[in-house]
Amino acid sequence: MTAVLDDAAAILEREVRELVRRRGIDPVRERSALAGLVADAVSDYTDRTTRGLVPALPDAVETSRTLVDLLAGLGPLQQYLDDPTVEEVWLNGPAQVFVARGGQPELTTTILTSAQVRDLVERMLKSSGRRLDLSSPFVDAALPDGSRLHVVIPDVTRSEYAVNIRKHVVRASRLDHLVRLGSLTPHATAFLDAAVRAGLNILVAGATQAGKTTMLNALAGSIPAAQRVITCEEVFELRLDVRDIVAMQCRQPSLEGTGEIPLRRLVKEALRMRPDRIVVGEVREAESFDLLVALNSGVPGMCTIHANSAREAVTKLCTLPLLAGENVTHHFVVPTVASAVDVVVHLGVTPDGERQVREIVGVTGRVEDGRVETAGLFHRESAAFGGRLVRGDGFPPGEERFARAGIDVRALLATEAR
C-alpha cells in the first residue's frame, strides 16, 4: 500500500504501525481502538504540518480511512466489501479488479501490485486455517464476515493470482422475503412453505450466482422450530435461522497429506447425529450418492446443484452418484432418485441481473424408459425472462406427508394465495 501513497501518507503509515506495535493493539479484533489511534495520529500529524515539520496530507479524511482499511481490513479491496451494492469481487491480475453490482460486472479503477495481492490473500487465509502453496494451488475458504474466498495461483494460472470473493449477502431468510424481492409469487411461496413443513426432499438448481444458497436459506426458514438440522458444506455459507443446528464444513489435507474430510464423510456423519433434516450446500461429485442414501433412509433433506433446468438437475443427480464407485449402477441410482427427490426448484438470472424462480417441478416417483418422470407445478408464462410464475397442471408426490402435517395440498394448489 505504501507504494501508492505519497510521501506524507507513507510517513503517517509508518508512525501508525509503530503506535500499533507499541500499544499491542490487534487491528482486526480491535478495529474501534485502531480507528481512535489513527484519528489521534492524523490530528497530531496535521498539527505538525501547520508548523512546517512534515509535508501536508493530500486528504486527511481519506488517508485515515485508507490506513484503517490497510491495517484492519483488506486495504484497497475493503471499500468494495463495505459497499452493500457489491455482490462479488474478483481479481484476474493486480491491474484487473472487478466487482459485480446487480449481477453486472464492472472493471474498477483499483490497481494493485503482485506483492499486494499475495499479501492480501495471505491475510484472508490467516483466519481460515487453510493453506495455499505449489502442492495445493487451489483454496476455498470462508472469511470472518461469511464471504467465500477462492484463490488459484501460478502455475495453474498463467502468471498472476486469480482471486474471487463472493460476499455473503443475506437477501432472504424466509420465503416471503423472496416474494418482496420478486423471485416468487405468493402462491408458489405457499406451496414451497407447505412442502418444507411436510418434509419433502427439495433440490434447488440453477447456474452460478442464480441465488441457490439464498433460496436454501429461505426454504430452511420454513423448517418446524422443534426440528434438529445438520448442514454439510465445502465452506460455510449457509446462515439458517434454526434453533437446533449443527453446521459442518470440509477440511483440507495437512502438509503430510492426512486429515482431509471430504463432503461424503460429512454426509455420512450427519446421519449419526440424530438429524430431523439434512441440508447439503451443494453436490458436485460422489457425495450425491451418500445424499441419496440419506434421503432414502427417511431423513428429509435439501441441497443445491448446478443445472440449466429442473429436468437437467434430475438427470445430473442420476449421473453424479455413478462417480462413487464401479458397483454403483444406473439401475440403482435412477429409481432411487425417483423415490428420494420430491421437488426441484430451478432458478435463473435475467439479462439485467434479477434472480428469479424459473420453474418448480414435482418428481412423481415413476421411471419411464430409464428417465425419471416429473410434473410441472409452476412455470413462467413466457419462455422469455420476466413472465409471471403461474401454476402448472402437475401435482407433487407425498400427499400423505402433507396430510400428516395438516395441509390440504390439493386445495392449496387449486387456490391462488393472495
Q: Mind listing the pLDDT tens digit for each residue in 295-337?
A: 988 899 999 999 999 999 999 999 999 999 889 999 999 999 9
Alpha-helical (H) ranges within 111-185 are: 114-126, 175-180
159 forms beta bridges with none
**Which range is least confidently modeled, 112-116, 267-271, 280-284, 413-417?**
413-417
Mean pLDDT of 335-352: 93
Instruction: Return left, alpha or beta for 60; rule: phi > 0 is left, psi -120 to 50 is alpha, else beta.
Output: alpha
Mean of all residue pLDDT scores within the chain: 90
Q: Which pairs count as long-range contacts for 76-81, CB under 8 Å and 24+ apart, including other chains?
A: 76/1, 76/110, 76/112, 76/116, 77/110, 77/120, 77/165, 80/108, 81/145, 81/147, 81/165, 81/167
Q: Please give the Cα distance from 293 to 300 (Å, whole number).
A: 11
> Cβ of 397: how many Cβ atoms within 10 Å?
20
* pLDDT in the model for residue 384: 54
What cell does 152 get? Answer: 488459484
pLDDT confidence tier of residue 208, bands split at 50, 70 and 90? confident
* pLDDT in the model for residue 202: 98
Residue keyed to cell 515539520: 53
Q: Which residues contact 213 (CB under 8 A, 6 or more apart)?
A: 237, 238, 281, 304
**Which range is least confidently modeled, 12-16, 70-74, 119-123, 178-182?**
70-74
* pLDDT in the model for residue 133: 82
- Please determine, for residue 170, whether its predicted confidence score (pLDDT) is greater than 70: no
**Which range is least confidently modeled, 9-13, 132-136, 328-332?**
132-136
Number of residues in the chain: 418
**Residue 59 to residues 33, 34, 36, 132, 149, Cα–Cα distance (Å):** 22, 19, 18, 37, 32
- Please determine, for residue 418, whether its predicted confidence score (pLDDT) is greater than 50: no
* pLDDT in the model for residue 2: 39
Given a contact cutoff of 8 angstroms between Cβ atoms, the answer to whether 196 and 223 are in contact is yes
Beta strands in 146-243 (DSSP E): 148-152, 162-166, 202-206, 228-233
- Helix (H) / strand (E) element for 368: namely strand 355-368
Beta strands in 167-243 (DSSP E): 202-206, 228-233
pLDDT in tens, 233-288: 998 889 888 889 999 999 988 777 788 999 999 999 999 999 999 999 999 999 99
- Please determine, for residue 227, whether its predicted confidence score (pLDDT) is greater than 50: yes
For the chain, which domains are there?
Answer: 1-72 (no CATH), 77-166 (3.30.450.90), 175-414 (3.40.50.300)
Mean pLDDT of 329-357: 92
Q: Which of 408, 373, 375, 364 is nearest to 197 (CA)?
A: 408
pLDDT confidence tier of residue 416, bands split at 50, 70 and 90? low
- Please determine, for residue 205, whether its predicted confidence score (pLDDT) is greater than 50: yes
Q: Which of 296, 291, 317 is nearest to 305 (CA)?
A: 317
* pLDDT in the model for residue 404: 95
Alpha-helical (H) ranges within 131-173 are: none
- Please determine, for residue 385, whether its predicted confidence score (pLDDT) is greater than 60: no
